[in-house]
Amino acid sequence: MCVPKVSLAGDGLSTVPTLVLGGRTLACEPGDMHDGVAELLAAQSGVVTYQQLLSVVSRRMLQELVECGALQRVWRGVYSREIPDCRLRLCGLDLLVGRLVVPCLGTAAQLYGFDTERSDKIHILQPEHSRLRDQCGLCVHRRSGAPTALMAGRHVTAPAWTAIEVCRGLSRPRALATLDAALRSGHCRRSGLESTVRLQAGRRGITRVRELLPQADGRAESPMESEARLVMLDAGLPIPELQHEINGWRVDFAWPDIRLAAEYDSDEWHTGATAMRRDKARIAGLQRAGWTVVPITVDDVRRTPAALISRLSWHLAGAA
């Protein structure tokens, strides 16, 4: 397909894109929309098929709407006005299949609020009597007997089932992070996770998940905190208290009897002048309260865990 030339309209100061098609220059705002197209989108949760578009606009106009950004491709033959997020991508699949699809695995975890892996792929169960197959950005799974639950008007694989299925395909650190997040989300209870482990007995990866489940804790506030805790548990360190409060501050890990704390320092939360001032004031306050604070970074957890354990062990032994 020939890609049109895109230039700046007017005197070069405008940021409105233009299309040069067949010798004509067409100004095109991403918000521009043909009335018939807008009506279709409004009636169908923000998505429309190629054939439906051709019922209200010409092929030439459709090409122009797509090329100027007024329409975004969601799936092959499906478009939306907005950049497609998870909701729009699911609605696009609904339109292709003719009924609501059932999200599973990472997509279901995202809907429940415990997706730790941030995959950009959409995962759904194979719709009955449908020829829908895997394509770029879409994974279609056969999961006979997978229980479902209603979530915002859509059937989704049940929370506990989703969490355990996701964990089975992850490394130990990431599996613990998902278990922690599932408990924290409020959609999963430990008893439900335990019963689901029994239901999935014999499936690949279930032994690892079964062994990790007793260590899961919904108080963990980030996946990297979960990974750091697993390093401590694997090394046999005393189990720390999570999100322990000290004079109005909370620390990620604490051994209150010896006033030792450890904090995971994420790049996002601890970057910038404001964050630096906040951290220094917080550490100073904890030190005034008689606490020792050990910082933990991603490299400590993933690249040099032995050095991290040595540092924590030294503080634990010295305070004993």
Are residues 75 and 125 part of one domain?
no
In the chain, DSSP assigns E strands to: 5-8, 17-21, 24-27, 47-49, 72-75, 78-80, 122-125, 138-141, 148-151, 154-157, 241-246, 249-255, 260-264, 292-296
Domain that holds residue 238: 219-320
- Report the pLDDT value the prediction gives residue 298, as an integer from 0 to 100: 96
The number of folded domains in the chain is 3
Q: pLDDT tens-digit profile of 51-68?
A: 999 988 889 988 888 888
Sequence-distant (≥ 6) Cβ neighbours of residue 317 within 8 angstroms: none
Alpha-carbon distance of 98 to 155, in angstroms, equals: 15
* Angle of the 172-185 helix axis to the 190-199 helix axis, nearest 10: 130
pLDDT at 112 over 90: yes
What is the rounded CA–CA span in Å between residue 97 and residue 181? 32
Tell whether 90 and 73 lie within a shared domain: no
Question: How distant, in Å, are the alpha carbons of 114, 191, 265 from that of 268?
Answer: 19, 34, 9
Residues 119 and 66 in one domain: no
- DSSP-assigned beta bridge partners for residue 214: none
Question: For the residues 43-50, what does the mean pLDDT come to?
Answer: 92
Residues 73 and 133 in one domain: no
Q: Grade residue 320 by pLDDT with cuts at 50, 70 and 90.
A: low
Assess whether pLDDT exceeds 70 at residue 7: no
Within a domain: residue 198? Answer: no
Model confidence pLDDT, tens digit, residues 28-39 = 444 456 788 888
Q: Which residues contact 154 (CB under 8 A, 6 or more apart)?
A: 90, 100, 102, 103
Tell whether 107 and 71 lie within a shared domain.
Answer: no
In a domain, 188, yes or no: no
74 has pLDDT over 80: yes
Cβ pair 47, 88 in contact under 8 A: yes
Calculate the alpha carbon distances from 160 to 156, 163, 195, 271, 295 in Å.
11, 5, 9, 35, 33
Query: Residue range 168-182: average pLDDT?
Result: 98
Q: Is it the case that residue 303 has pLDDT exceeding 50?
A: yes
Q: Are residues 52 and 108 in the same domain?
A: no
Q: What are the tens digits of pLDDT across the range 238-261?
A: 999 999 999 988 999 999 999 999
Last residue of a domain, one of 80, 103, 138: 80
- Cβ-contact 215, 173 below 8 angstroms: no
pLDDT of residue 318 exceeding 80, the answer is no
What's the rounded Cα separation, in Å, for the pair 193 and 161?
7
- Does the pLDDT value for residue 19 go beyond 60? no
- Residue 274 pLDDT class (50, 70, 90 cuts): confident
Can you say whether the dihedral through the CA atoms of 90, 92, 96, 100 is positive or negative? positive
Round to whole Å and give the CA distance between 163 and 180: 10
Question: Is 201 a member of any domain?
Answer: no
Q: What are 109's two structure tokens?
A: 């975890």
Q: Are residues 9 and 73 in the same domain?
A: yes
Q: What is the mean pLDDT of the chain?
A: 88
pLDDT band at 18 (very low <50, low <70, confident <90, very high): very low
How buried is residue 112: exposed, middle or buried, by Cβ count under 10 Å (0-12/13-18/19+)? buried
Cβ of 200: how many Cβ atoms within 10 Å? 18
Report pLDDT digits (tens) over 198-239.
999 999 999 999 999 999 999 999 999 999 999 999 999 999
Closest CA to 308 of 299, 104, 86, 46: 299
Q: What is the rounded CA–CA span in Å between residue 75 and residue 84?
A: 9
Give the helix ranges, DSSP H, for 138-270: 159-168, 172-185, 190-199, 206-212, 223-234
pTM score of the predicted model? 0.84
Please indicate, yes or no, whether residues 46 and 101 belong to a single structural domain of this protein: no
State residue 201 phi and psi, 5-degree precision: -55, 140
pLDDT-based confidence at 9, cuts 50/70/90? Answer: very low
CA distance 219 to 180: 7
